[in-house]
A and B are shown apart, each in its own frame.
Chain A
């Protein structure tokens, strides 16, 4: 069974880690939420996150937090891969990002303005783009000049698997050569209250972006590979275990592998939720990033298998199986420079 995609670079921004650093190297915080009251005193947000300090003032004036997180993660991921836009033609590099509802804060505030402002409702048109789901993917493409496939997949907790499925198809059908495939979720007072009032676990945030390429093309170009995606599936009204069996079979693995891999995935997800809150669309990406960080740090064996699973409250479910690759002569025990928030 030939792998469907290779991960040739990645980046994560979460309350627990930055860039390609191992888990647990960053600080929690509630910065960026001003004086707005929160349902609980501390939030699972990225401490000291300042968009303008990271991206500069020019062009970032209207960026909301989700856009900032996504644009920064995309930039770090492509830098990590060593790809320079231009060496790979810009119209062959695409962006596929997963979300739940885009920026809840931007949408709610813009809606509120239309009700609060005097006629003729002088809302700020510059803020409108933030209210649409594909804002982050669009801004990332504009920021880095990426003219390939640009797609936004709404999937809540299933988003990362939806993104992987979509991305593998785009690569297989030849619609792009390189994809920045990832997920973004922002922590705001709005998100915190939405989680609290819905009786859900405390809201978290994060962005994780993975550079995906066709495996043979990536190796032909001499790029290091962190992991290979062997199989992915998503569905509705199915059992997660059925999805797991499907990807294990598609990947040509022994069905006995399924049990231990699924248990490891469940443990990882519990731990992640405790550490980073309920990151919704970003959760699958943070999980994958945590796996890749172990791989890059030499803590996981070359060829180590991992399973990603997800289900939504509405009945969506999915699974993916990946095989980790140690980078020869590469990053064993050597961390890339952390970029502070």
Chain B
């Protein structure tokens, strides 16, 4: 009895799994399996960051920008988005610490779409995940980036190969591949990860695999009891629970390889990993001046919670605190104490050397510059005009 029941159960479950997969991958009646591909000619690719060397039918990316990025323009003549939903990319010889993103030029700027990690060379990218993929777009680019906790100067010099790129219309093969990568692809850590949902990869409109697997698991349990009675329930439950565990093992493998490669790179370069490597190098450059100034109190002022909290972590050897500018009702005590302010230029802070005043939105404070970097200013309050 078990024999035929088992065969029926396997058949029923397989059909259900196929239907669920078709539904979750977005199949609809009339949707073609495959449409004609529109290859993006490698001869027309160009890169502002790397030298493109012929490698088979693709190009090898030799060299990188100062921030570690390798950017390739696939098409800059203007593309009509309509009828072209999927970009197929073939990228080979990526390092474990490297990530891929696609960029679309629209409204005079680039709109980024970070991609999940995958073991496969070819990946299908659903460009409709980018709201800017509509009408005529100004450019289409692919970028190879390092994980953002690895300093650019320590990133190993890699030469990935862009082995192919083509645009395709709305077709089931592309939908399936794109969603498969979203379901099972890697969600690497970012330096600013505050949850494990992988939201740094952007919102996905594809149905997630977990509810689908839950439904298929429930069916598998019912069928297992039907075939073998209650004694089959526990082994079946173990089997359905172990599949997500196997997926998680793959996820951890990718993350561990990225972390290990990054750690090896910074060890070789005499650098460190951090949530924001640019801040580390900027503050490292400022540190001697801050030490020499015998800072009694250091205030990091920013409206951005990350830029308020992370510099405090990095500069903990000082008596430091982070605050929003509004939190300081009265700067007079700080001026009397000659406290040091650390402020981000991007938030409108500016220091006028002539008047010796630090200014921002109606706030004017007498201050002297102690150190400055590309993003930050360190100033001692209440000492306008004095030379260092």
Q: Do A and B bind each other?
A: no
A residues in contact (CB < 8 Å) with B: none
